[in-house]
Structure 1
Amino acid sequence: MKQKLLFLLLLVFSAAWSQNPKILKGKVIADTKDLGGITVGNLTTHKEVFTASDGQFSIYAKAGDTLLFTSVQLKTRKIVVEKEDFDYLPFPVRLELKVTEIKEVVVEKSNIDAVSLGIIPYKVKPFTPAERRYYTANTGSGLVSVDAIINTISGRNAMLKKEIAAERNKMIQERLGNMFDADYLMTEFKIPEDYIDGFVVFASENPKVAKAVKDKNKTLTTFLLGGLAETYNKMITDAK
């Protein structure tokens, strides 16, 4: 009889203890580096907390409570807390990025441009700094100057041409970085993290990639990078 009474008391205390809120430590996981400020609300207790910059959070909850995760850039998600969730260190919560659909905008052909408005002269080519230096060293005055002849003989023109090529290559690298971030290159092309910068330089020196990037053809650029990634990864393996 005493054993049965003790067993019943343990059940009562266990049930009561399980209904008391405890700190649930979790971490939001999403395909973005900005994981701070995500709202984590307990719809049962009406309490809210915000995630830290790395996505971690702590909130009082118990089994059966419903947690609501909301953010500007992430899809809203509800999760019902289970007893086992307190065993994770931390409890992982996967959120998806919101996809914003842009309505189609039709731009009709117009003869109005910077030239017609008088902002820039007719058919003026925009030069980069290196191109301006080369232009000035050769035909800046509109005539073939003595400086141009001297520059050609001394080899300065060759140096300026190299500067132009390096400058254009740097622009391609920057555009590649804007098209594909490091996480994408590591996930899709299996490029090791320490070799990301080297791969971008390697890819930018490929004429076909440079043209595809210049044409803003992301589909073709992605296809070309796939082939270059295989070559680059093999070079890394062979070098080890």
Structure 2
Amino acid sequence: MKNKYLALIFLFLVAIFVQAQEDGRQLLRGTVLYRNVNVPNENVINITTEDATITDEDGDFAIPVKAGDELAFTSINYSLEIVKVTEAMIQKNRLVVEVNEKVTQLDEVVVSPENQDRFIKMQNEEFKKHDYGIDRSTEVENIATPQMISGMKNGLNFVNIFKALAKTNKNNTTETRPKLKLSEVLRQVYDDEFFVVDLKIPQDKIGEFLLYVDEAVPAQSLLKKTNEFELIDFLVNESKSYREELDAQK
């Protein structure tokens, strides 16, 4: 049984290598760390190609890339990091990414109507601008997009991340898993601050709100959205409806 499992892994890696060669991509190897400790089971997603893998028990990964691709590193416990692949990374074939723990304890914040209005009225073009900063210390070359408003990531292609995670979920042959839910991806991509500050959801109600969102929209309908701005607009509207229901229950 073990030999059969190893053979399947080998065939899978061969298939990835062949596909990568056909589209000009090659395997980029790397490690995900948190405070110099290896991070296992971190999702590593090529947002450009919608391919994904996960880090092994040593925090190591390998994924097909070419210069210009964007890699997203996501998990429940760590904040999203986005890295833009460069020729230098490909030549080194060694990428070390440092992730940060998600913020679960928030300082008291005040959200005014003006902040909410400004949030809703933002133009779609603003989500496409990138302002990358390069950490050139030792082996680490981590390029992360800055936060634009609280927990929202500038330029994030949420739809491609969702597609890639859905593929990973579908390709897992060890067990039959239910379809990926919108809430599962939202929880990986956004910190609590996004829900509390931007969507005005009480922190202790975030989980309940995510279930509310799952019931409000089938996950597959998300794939019809063309960019994150449409998703954010949808979440703003759903958060208003949810808060109205909470108020009605009081």
Shorter-normalised TM range? 0.3 to 0.5
Output the TM-score relative to the length of structure 1: 0.33
The structure with more radius of gyration: 1
The TM-score with structure 2 as length reference comes to 0.32
